[in-house]
Amino acid sequence: KAGVTQTPRYLIKTRGQQVTLSCSPISGHRSVSWYQQTPGQGLQFLFEYFSETQRNKGNFPGRFSGRQFSNSRSEMNVSTLELGDSALYLCASSLVQTRTAEAFFGQGTRLTVV
């Protein structure tokens, strides 16, 4: 069965632009979470979607937003890009929304803001 697919794998954007990243979860998985990974900061939780609704949100500014579609695919949008937004953005999917649910990660999208 196919894993979590994130597109694109690499992206270069200019300050002030906006960007949309896509995540296709494992078939049947309904929970999708997004994380930002930067050197020294580890993975920081952005938000989680379940059944097309945002269930949890991390401590990021409103420039970071997301949505989930009826087929569980999710998109993440960052507006007015800043240099500090350069990071690896990881998406994880889980079958259900429970604390013990195993999360499966995609390979990530490497965003570089210049």
Segment interacting with other proteins (CB under 8 A) among 12-20, 61-69, 74-82, 103-111:
103-111
* Choice from 25, 26, 31, 111 touching other proteins (CB under 8 A): 31
Residue 56 near other proteins by CB under 8 A: yes
Q: What tokens does 36 get?
A: 């930002």
Question: Which residues, 6+ apart, have CB-to-CB distance to 72 below 8 Å?
Answer: 25, 29, 30, 32, 93
d(CA 75, CA 91): 10
| 59 binds other proteins, rule: CB under 8 A | yes
Q: How far is the CB of 37 from other proteins (least distance, A)?
A: 9
CB 86 within 8 A of CB 78: no
Asked whether position 98 contacts other proteins by CB under 8 A, the answer is: yes
Of residues 24 and 94, the one with the C-beta less far from other proteins: 94
Stretch of 14-22, 67-75, 79-87, 98-106 contacting other proteins, by CB under 8 A: 98-106
Query: Cis ω on the peptide bond leading into residue 8 (within 30° of 0)?
Result: yes
User: Which two tokens mark 61?
Assistant: 């500014």
Q: Is 4 in the site for other proteins (CB under 8 A)?
A: yes
